[in-house]
Structure 1
Amino acid sequence: MSEDLNKLALKYALINAFQYGGTPNSKAVTGKIMAELPEVRKQAKDVILAVEEAINQISKMSNKDIENKLKEIYPEYFVEKPKEKEAPKVLPPLEGAEIGKVVTRLPPEPNGYPHIGHGMSFYFNYYYAKKYDGKVILRFDDTNPKKEKLEYYDAIKQDLKWLKITWDEECNMSDDMELYYKYALDLIDMGKAYVCNCDAEYVSKLRYESKDCPCVSNSVQDNLSLWKEMETAEEGKYSLRLKGDMASKNTVMRDPTMLRVVDHPHPIQGDKYRIWPVYDFACAIEDSVLGVTHVLRSNEFALRIELQDYIRGLLNLRNPKIIEYSRFTVKGAPTSKRLIRPLIEEHVVSGWDDPRLVTIRGLKRRGITPEAIHMVAEEIGLSKSEPEIDWSLIESLNRKVIDSTSDRYYFVPDPKSLEVIDASYQTIQLKRHPDFDRGFRDVHITDKFYISGNDFVSITKGQILRLKDLFNIIIIDTSTNLIKAMHTDEKTSKDELSKIKKIQWVSDKNVKVSVIVPGILYEGENINPNSLTTINGYGEEGIANLKEGDIVQFERFGFVRVDKIDPSGVTVILTHK
């Protein structure tokens, strides 16, 4: 029994030391032994002696030695036990979907960088195509030459790849101009479209009054002749309008414009074309000719469905299944390129990747992961309500993704000096991560340390503190800006340790760190002037070996993403707590 008791005492003492650091708690170890072997309760003295012997043996070991010994005598401890996982949110089945026959499209307009709303829409269309073993088409809706820019085509593809969204085919609407012209002429020949030369203000007045435009009475031949004139006409003189219903309650149906003259070079087509289709005309045709079976999009386009179906009906084109959901907003952040662009132009934000923005690039720079964006989409789902996404949801889902992969480091903001006059120069090992399989990191210490300004102002002479994961100190002098302390060798039990204040520290072997802290950009309708702040401090020296884009956790501070490393130090962005 004595040999078994000694082994059991060593086992639980090692576990206690490995889990909590410092000297094992003798009461906790004794309790574990008696719980496993109730019969030894009558041999309490033997148990106490065995525990004391085990603790004495362990007190001479380094963290690494403790881990290795524990692996030697109790390898089962390191076998990860399966955790009960929360059932993931699942998007509902796709109405009318058949395996192998679903075709969806990703239809970005290359007039800016995508934001989280686009990302979620992309994900819905990608998810269902893959779920039903179908096809995804990346289609650039680029029929507005004045807004499209070449840089955005590649930027959008880069963002999609970062989002881990792939596609099977790629095309540009602007490559199908001749097709749009063919269908436009078909509508003229049918007597379903006419060329209008009225000015925009007059057209708007007639629509408001539900009155026909005089041009609606043009003959087919007159419209064909005017169409020919459109090729060289000045911008704004002519437009091709569909004969809809000027009395319709859906104002979109009141003889809408289908094509118009745009005197501006296109980033891909150049000056080849001057007559350009509006979105409704081009989209109605493309969704059919590309074989799109399902269109998942926000309900801001709800009024357009009737018009696009009408166009397809006239041209004998098939209608896709339209599935709508409410447009997403994020609290305190603009989710529209129309609102983001002026913020950039007026230098309110630094660019499309400003970490206060919910653009894909802003989220990436902040440290939000593609998986978190997927999870937000699944959490919200195809909601018909008007969901305002709170940052706390994005952060909690992102934390689930990054917590298990983010190495831990020490950082102190507003650093103040602390001297432990009898501390020895040594290299210690700290856990790289709570997951022991991730190993340890080396930290070099001397008698010089830095602690945070907040801890500094609360320290009093004679106070006993613990430098986290290191040792206890007693404060001996607080009369200057340099606090002096001595190392205390007094053994501390687990219960006593829990009552001692633990403070974060870095040694004088450190690196300067600037933390950019993004906040809520809008407070109501007003710009928050304090939406971007910087916290300066020192981090442990290993931070200098990180790479741009690495996401780590500054213990007791928050998760951060490395933004820049240069000779002056490291700049990180606070992802979230």
Structure 2
Amino acid sequence: MDKKEIKRQAHNLALVCAKKYKIAFPKLVLDYLLKKYPDLNENKKEILAIAFEECKKVNKLTDEKINKKIEETFMDEDQELKKAIKIEIIKNALEYSKADPTKIVGKIISKFPNKKNQIKQIMQIAIEQAKEINQLSKEELNQIAKDLNVQITKKESRLEQPQKIKLPNAEYGKVITRFPPEPSGYLHIGHAKAIFLDYLAAKEYGGKMLLRFDDTNPEKEKQEYVDKILQELNWLGIKIDQEPTYSSDYMIRFYEFAKKMIKKQKAYVCNCDSEKIKENRIKKIECECRKKSIEQNLEEFEKMISGQYQEGEVVLRYVGDMNSENTTLRDPTLFRIIKTPHYRQKEKYSCWPSYDFCAPILDSIEGVTHAMRSKEYELRDELYFSILDCLELRKPILISFSRLAIKGMPVSKRLINPLIEQKKVSGYDDPRLPTLAALRRRGILPKAIEEFVTSFGLTKVESEPNLDKLLSINKKLIDPSAKRRFFVSFPYAILKLKNKARNLEIKNHPTNELGKRTLKIKENATIYIPLLDAANLNEGEVFRLKDFCSLKVKKKTPTKIEFFDKKADSYILEVEEIELENVEKKIQWVDEANSTKVEVLVAKELFIDEKYNENSLEVIEGFAEKEVLNDNLKERFQFERFGFVILDKKYTDKLSYIFICK
């Protein structure tokens, strides 16, 4: 603390002391200063001299002057406190895209230790400031920060830092990874993590990533999912180094490997029903079918291949270890009968291999060096290598990573499909879902998804982040190219202007060269403004319509308004235009004569505590400036003072947007 500040504090303490005891005591002032600032003990004599000097000044004042100075001093302190809170809120908003008032209280107390007993009041001020600041655009925030001389040291969130992918025993130029989706549904954010880990790891080591469709379950797989996966990989910017492969194209080789296992007495045909197999596995009981001869097993397996068995009648099982604590080793199924025609192979095959059989074999024969898969498969690693040992095939390196799910957004088809069937969500591209189709429709860029998913690296630590972290990354990417548009939501208030007709040239972006648009304002215009802003305006108060004019409220009258089929309480404000540029309160607006109806779909958490959230989709209606009628579908914009949106659909009577983020 510098000498000037010590004098100020000593003077204020002397005033309080004089008011309480009718005289200012230097010793009391000294004791309080040393208690409040222990570091001052090193200069105790100098501090005492300052205390004497300030007490001497105060003791010359009359009671009236002392009271007046105390009132002025603490009024100044309150203003100083509010300014400090505002500065910290602005810093927090610029650093994290959205101000969190709980994060700044500690900093304020460290600056104003005498306010420790006023934490509730400080928090209330911070909440009010954050509410106001979070309504502003990034450009407005930067301008306020500049006006208040706020110094921002921008810190990139640890989450947003892409981590380099390090592979064990990797030789540059020889690394081969693979992404093996089953074409039974749409890709989601968890798949995106696997895709980018495989793809970027291969690039990091000068290798390549293979795309393999794991399509050996005819009951679930469709060509439409193959096509959709290829489209979404292309959208993500993934360039596959060679034509995709299909597990179902290897059926003849799979049969050969199965026969090799039978000849080694490592596989047998089991005729038990599924319940019996399940019971024996739980009880660690070896099946009697294990005792069949090699010849009998080969004969029965040929019958399986030629289609002589019905579904559920027989399976080919691996001779594992029925006493193993790892349940995947208790004689797992290698082949089963499925009569459903295959989307690609039609009715050519009915004896289909399991994932546990296909995955290790194809990873080996396709040359994969590093096979990455989510942690849920870790129990199957032992079986993976056991099958390769049995068939004397090369072993890739297996790497596990944690699954990625977003809080409140289910990735499981088991949860999503019933919602689609019940029409609780509109489809796989419903903006409340974490599918890539939904994220794309919601205005999320591929680069944002890449940065988000790779920030978790190859760690096995489970995580379920909320969507805010992805939205924060996305906002930084879309902000520079998002044109600005005026929007006011229902319910709104009505301004009656007495103005001359004029044309306003409005920039499409406050800092970047994205062109301009002209708003033609008619004489005596009717203007819509947000109802909350109107509610906070008093008669005689001055405010400014953003990029337009300054106004003074002459009269404020309660009224009722109708918005198509809706009604609400509102206000009509009669205002007069005044010549004043530097007005602190700025309000967003839309001109009635130059407006069009729009709706904004706001997606919220689809599941709360694992239950469907009936209020997961909010529809906000209102008016936007008519320029939006010329905008392109799938283009991203910022509705000023509202948030970033993407134009989703054009109807005859309105435009429909999806909310991206604040």
Assess same fold via TM > 0.5.
Answer: yes
Aligned to 2:215: 142
**What's the CA shift for 1:106?**
1.2
**Is residue 486–residue 588 contact of structure 2 (8 Å, CA) maintained in 1?**
no
Aligned to 1:561: 646
Aligned to 1:100: 173
Take 1:146 and 1:421, find their aligned partners in 2: how far apart are those partners? 66
Take 1:288 and 1:398, find their aligned partners in 2: how far apart are those partners? 38
Q: Do residues 488 (structure 1) and 595 (structure 2) align?
A: no
Aligned to 2:430: 354
One-letter code of the match for 1:95?
Answer: P
**What's the CA shift for 1:534?**
0.4
Aligned to 2:323: 247
**What's the CA shift for 1:321?**
1.1
One-letter code of the match for 1:313?
Answer: D
The CA deviation string for residues 209-242 of structure 1, in whole angstroms up to 9 with x for no partner, is 1121101111111111111222311111111111
Stretch deviating more after TM superposition (250-259 or 444-453): 444-453
| Structure 2 residue matching 1:330: 3-state secondary structure | coil
Q: Do residues 222 (structure 1) and 307 (structure 2) align?
A: no
Q: Do residues 325 (structure 1) and 405 (structure 2) align?
A: no
**Is residue 409–residue 552 contact of structure 1 (8 Å, CA) maintained in 2?**
yes
Aligned to 2:119: none
Aligned to 2:528: 450
**Is residue 443–residue 636 contact of structure 2 (8 Å, CA) maintained in 1?**
yes
**Is residue 465–residue 503 contact of structure 1 (8 Å, CA) maintained in 2?**
no
Work out which of the residue numbers 225, 237, 246 in structure 2 matches 1:152. 225
**Is residue 527–residue 589 contact of structure 2 (8 Å, CA) maintained in 1?**
no
Take 2:588 and 2:298, find their aligned partners in 1: how far apart are those partners? 82
One-letter code of the match for 2:268?
Answer: Y
| Structure 2 residue matching 1:404: 3-state secondary structure | helix
Work out which of the residue numbers 455, 476, 488 in structure 1 matches 2:554. 476
One-letter code of the match for 1:91?
Answer: K
Q: Do residues 165 (structure 1) and 238 (structure 2) align?
A: yes
**What's the CA shift for 1:85?**
8.5
Take 1:503 and 1:181, find their aligned partners in 2: how far apart are those partners? 69
Aligned to 1:260: 336
Take 1:259 and 1:480, find their aligned partners in 2: how far apart are those partners? 75
**What's the CA shift for 1:408?**
0.9
Work out which of the residue numbers 286, 292, 302 in structure 2 matches 1:212. 286
One-letter code of the match for 2:222?
Answer: K
1:55-454 alignment to 2 at 5 Å? 86=156, 88-169=161-242, 170-230=244-304, 231-414=307-490, 416=492, 418-446=494-522, 447-454=525-532
One-letter code of the match for 1:572?
Answer: Y
Take 1:133 and 1:410, find their aligned partners in 2: how far apart are those partners? 48
**What's the CA shift for 1:417?**
5.6
**What's the CA shift for 1:507?**
4.5
**What's the CA shift for 1:161?**
1.1
Take 1:229 and 1:92, find their aligned partners in 2: how far apart are those partners? 47
Work out which of the residue numbers 607, 611, 617 in structure 2 matches 1:532. 617
* Identity of matched residues, %: 41
Aligned to 1:63: none
**What's the CA shift for 1:163?**
1.3
Take 2:325 and 2:495, find their aligned partners in 1: how far apart are those partners? 78
The CA deviation string for residues 387-425 of structure 1, in whole angstroms up to 9 with x for no partner, is 111111111111111111111111000154634432222
Higher relative contact order (CA 8 A, sep 6+): 1
The CA deviation string for residues 484-535 of structure 1, in whole angstroms up to 9 with x for no partner, is 434433334x4xx22x353433452112110011111111121111110101
**What's the CA shift for 1:434?**
2.3
Aligned to 2:54: none
The CA deviation string for residues 244-274 of structure 1, in whole angstroms up to 9 with x for no partner, is 1111111100111100111111111111001
Structure 1 residues 503 and 435: alpha-carbon distance in aligned structure 2, compared to 1, 3 A threshold? closer
Work out which of the residue numbers 570, 575, 598 in structure 2 matches 1:513. 598
Structure 1 residues 300 and 506: alpha-carbon distance in aligned structure 2, compared to 1, 3 A threshold? farther
CA RMSD of aligned residues (A): 1.8
Stretch deviating more after TM superposition (373-382 or 117-126): 373-382
One-letter code of the match for 1:488?
Answer: E
| Structure 2 residue matching 1:465: 3-state secondary structure | strand
**Is residue 637–residue 645 contact of structure 2 (8 Å, CA) maintained in 1?**
yes
Work out which of the residue numbers 576, 589, 593 in structure 2 matches 1:504. 589
**Is residue 258–residue 280 contact of structure 1 (8 Å, CA) maintained in 2?**
yes
Take 1:164 and 1:339, find their aligned partners in 2: how far apart are those partners? 29
Q: Could you list the runs of 5+ residues in structure 2 that have no partner in the other structure?
A: 1-152, 560-570
**Is residue 590–residue 623 contact of structure 2 (8 Å, CA) maintained in 1?**
no
Take 1:209 and 1:125, find their aligned partners in 2: how far apart are those partners? 39
Aligned to 1:32: none
| Structure 1 residue matching 2:282: 3-state secondary structure | helix
- Between Structure 1 and Structure 2, how many residues are aligned? 491
Aligned to 1:38: none
**Is residue 401–residue 458 contact of structure 2 (8 Å, CA) maintained in 1?**
yes
**What's the CA shift for 1:464?**
1.9
The CA deviation string for residues 342-388 of structure 1, in whole angstroms up to 9 with x for no partner, is 22122221110010000111111111111111111122222221111
TM-score (norm 2): 0.72
Take 2:295 and 2:574, find their aligned partners in 1: how far apart are those partners? 98
| Structure 2 residue matching 1:574: 3-state secondary structure | strand
One-letter code of the match for 1:274?
Answer: S
Take 1:491 and 1:525, find their aligned partners in 2: how far apart are those partners? 54
1:20-59 alignment to 2 at 5 Å? none
One-letter code of the match for 1:360?
Answer: L
One-letter code of the match for 2:572?
Answer: I
Take 1:383 and 1:465, find their aligned partners in 2: how far apart are those partners? 53
Stretch deviating more after TM superposition (197-206 or 341-350): 341-350
TM-score (norm 1): 0.82
1:544-555 alignment to 2 at 5 Å? 544-555=629-640
Structure 1 residues 229 and 89: alpha-carbon distance in aligned structure 2, compared to 1, 3 A threshold? closer
**Is residue 119–residue 373 contact of structure 1 (8 Å, CA) maintained in 2?**
yes
| Structure 2 residue matching 1:329: 3-state secondary structure | coil
| Structure 2 residue matching 1:478: 3-state secondary structure | strand
| Structure 2 residue matching 1:271: 3-state secondary structure | coil
**What's the CA shift for 1:566?**
2.6
